[in-house]
A and B are shown apart, each in its own frame.
Chain A
Amino acid sequence: MAREDGANARSVIDIRDLSLTFETNDGPVHALSNIDLNIEEGDFVSFIGPSGCGKTTLLRVIADLEKPTGGHISVNGVSPEEARLARAYGYVFQSAALYPWRTIANNVALPLEIMGLSSEERAERVKRNMELVNLSGFERKYPWQLSGGMQQRASIARALAVEPDLLLMDEPFGALDEIVRDHLNEQLLQLWAKTNKTVVFVTHSIPEAVFLSTKIVVLFPRPGRIYDVIESDLPRDRTLDIRETPEFLKIAHRVRDGLRAGHSYDD
């Protein structure tokens, strides 16, 4: 499995001069403007920025949950809508959004039912992906019987079961405590190293962004725009210990400076 950071990596997401303006009763809101970004296969890209900077909106544009009002975007070489219809990505939301009337296994199987897979294929994928997120043995539990961290892991298994090459994650660990978050970060990293997926990850935690990413995109609010793109030279297989190294702290420092510059304390 050759995955050197080389020049011949395939572009997965190509964004050029993208803008998105919401029309509201108080006038237009410029959620995104002048976004230029290229994400290559195997990248782990984090969007980080203060609230209201458009990081979630940008992710939703990639997922075709929002339509841009200007510029160009392609996902896997086609429009986001075509990519969505081809089920090119798995999406993990801020909350687990499990359906309460389905068991955990049936929640993971939901996208597979919609894709029309056979029951054997479904059972096999559910088993494999629940193992991947360490949820074996909880197949027949209902969501309310699981902790928040386990629910979020189930939602990751559900996104992975689609077997997408592209994983879009919107602050998936935002509501979890520090220890659980660290643990899931490590698991996610192992998963990414094992599967050669492209991940786009929204967060507002600097250590999380630096620990996970090969590329960190710092966004500014009003209008949402890219302030800095930081290529991380940390090794691909990392452990949580890396957070104590000077290289890690250097990158974290640069991210923090970017966030400071973008923060206005007037409001």
Chain B
Amino acid sequence: MSHGGASASLNPFSRLMSGTAGPVIVVVAVIFAAWYVAAVLLNTPFQRDTYERAGQENVSIARLITDTLAQERPVMPAPHQVAVEIWKTTAEKKVTSKRSLVYHSGITLSSTLLGFLIGTTLGIGLAVLIVHSRVLDKSLMPWIISSQTIPILAIAPMIIVVLNAIGITGTLPKAMISTYLSFFPVTVGMVKGLRSPEIIQLDLMKTYSASQGQTLLKLRLPSAAPFLFASMKVAVAASLVGAIVGELPTGAVAGLGARLLAGSYYGQTIQIWSALIVAAVIAASLVTIVGVSERIVLKRMGMAQ
């Protein structure tokens, strides 16, 4: 600890807040507190109706609060209800069970990763073409940018339906939607990355009379590595969104998207929130994995000091 000497003399609270752990705990606590307050407020009208119908009067505030946090289909589930639901559908269910969130996460994750892989490869390929050809730069780039202005919710059903019509079903159609979302940040980042070498570094290659391929391999691609990882972080999160959206329009029976859909059909808000939280955790994990591999690769390349 660099500032251990200074903080040792402070009171325990100041010492806790001087690191990162203290402030993070406070922020999380505030979020949970706000969530609980929102749950009570949003669930109160339904709870009052229930009391009225049952003819109960003069219900105490304490009981009202307890009841609003224990509804079966709340407008806003409380954090502990979501936590219990996640526990029941992960730890207490067999992985193969149709009610297991692990099972559904696995389905979504596989199309996420497949789409991310194809998207990243496609993105790198497009960037290489664009950097080497003025014609492609002028002709492809506008299409690539406008492709992202189309709402994914509008295009996802079409992709699924078209691919189903030609006999492609299962993971691949969903992965295509992940690809659609993830190739874009990779293309944009890699075009910038492949153009990042300084003039002097390119001149150096010219004095060796290096071919375009050699310059690409030995200069442009290594220079682009930091850009690639930055865009892959965006792309992997976008891939997950794509996979979930891909599960919505066809009424898929499995995957986190299917859980969201089923939850909304039957008003199972706790189920919806559980699926959302799990999706968020998966997204955070994927971004973290890309971040960790970025550190490892750049360190091995000697570029992280």
Q: Is the C-beta of A65 less than 8 angstroms from some C-beta in chain B?
A: yes
Contact of B207 among A63, A99, A100, A102 (CB under 8 A): A63
Contact B200 A101 (CB under 8 A): no
B interface residue count range (under 10 / 10 to 19 / 20 to 34 / 35 or more): 20 to 34
Contact of A97 among B200, B225, B301, B303 (CB under 8 A): B200
Q: Give chain B nearest CB distance to A83 CB in angstroms.
A: 10
Contact of B204 among A85, A89, A91, A115 (CB under 8 A): A91
Q: A65-B203, A114-B214, A144-B305 are contacts. A99–B209 as well, Cβ < 8 Å?
A: no
Q: Give chain A nearest CB distance to B32 CB in angstroms.
A: 44
Q: Give chain A nearest CB distance to B272 CB in angstroms.
A: 46
Q: A91-B207, A97-B198 are contacts. A110–B218 as well, Cβ < 8 Å?
A: yes
Q: A93-B204, A95-B200 are contacts. A100–B302 as well, Cβ < 8 Å?
A: yes
Residues from 192 to 213 in B contacting A, C-beta threshold 8 Å: 198, 200-201, 203-210
Complex CA distance for A91 and B222, rounded to whole angstroms: 22
With contacts defined as CB atoms under 8 Å apart, how many contacts are there between chain A and chain B in the complex? Answer: 53
Complex CA distance for A99 and B123, rounded to whole angstroms: 25
Contact B208 A87 (CB under 8 A): yes
Contact of A101 among B198, B204, B222 (CB under 8 A): B222
Q: Give chain A nearest CB distance to B227 CB in angstroms.
A: 13
Whose C-beta in chain B lies nearest to the C-beta of A164?
B207
Contact B208 A111 (CB under 8 A): yes
Q: Is the C-beta of A162 less than 8 angstroms from some C-beta in chain B?
A: yes
Contact A65 B207 (CB under 8 A): yes
Q: Give chain B nearest CB distance to A125 CB in angstroms.
A: 14
Contact B208 A162 (CB under 8 A): yes
Using an 8 Å CB-CB cutoff, how does the interface string of A55-86 with B read, 1 for contact, 0 for none?
A: 00000000111000000000000000000111
Q: A97-B201, A99-B201, A101-B303 are contacts. A89–B208 as well, Cβ < 8 Å?
A: no
Complex CA distance for A64 and B203, rounded to whole angstroms: 10
Complex CA distance for A85 and B235, rounded to whole angstroms: 41
Q: A93-B200, A114-B214, A142-B302 are contacts. A99–B222 as well, Cβ < 8 Å?
A: yes
Q: Is the C-beta of B161 less than 8 angstroms from some C-beta in chain A?
A: no
Residues of A within 8 A of B287 (CB): none
Whose C-beta in chain B lies nearest to the C-beta of A168?
B207
Q: Give chain B nearest CB distance to A108 CB in angstroms.
A: 13
Q: A95-B200, A99-B201 are contacts. A115–B208 as well, Cβ < 8 Å?
A: yes
Q: A84-B207, A85-B209 are contacts. A101–B305 as well, Cβ < 8 Å?
A: no
Residues of B within 8 A of A89 (CB): 207
Q: Is the C-beta of A21 less than 8 angstroms from some C-beta in chain B?
A: no
Complex CA distance for A65 and B209, rounded to whole angstroms: 11
Q: Is the C-beta of B234 less than 8 angstroms from some C-beta in chain A?
A: no
Using an 8 Å CB-CB cutoff, how does the interface string of A145-166 with B read, 1 for contact, 0 for none?
A: 0000000000000000010000
Q: A87-B209, A100-B303 are contacts. A113–B203 as well, Cβ < 8 Å?
A: no
Task: Report 28 cross-chain contacts, Cβ distance below 8 Å, ordered by A residue.
Answer: A65-B203, A65-B206, A65-B207, A84-B206, A85-B209, A87-B208, A91-B204, A93-B203, A93-B204, A95-B200, A97-B198, A97-B200, A97-B201, A97-B204, A99-B201, A99-B218, A99-B222, A100-B303, A101-B225, A101-B302, A101-B303, A103-B302, A110-B208, A111-B208, A114-B209, A114-B210, A114-B218, A144-B305
Closest 4 CB pairs of A and B: A142-B302, A101-B301, A91-B207, A97-B200
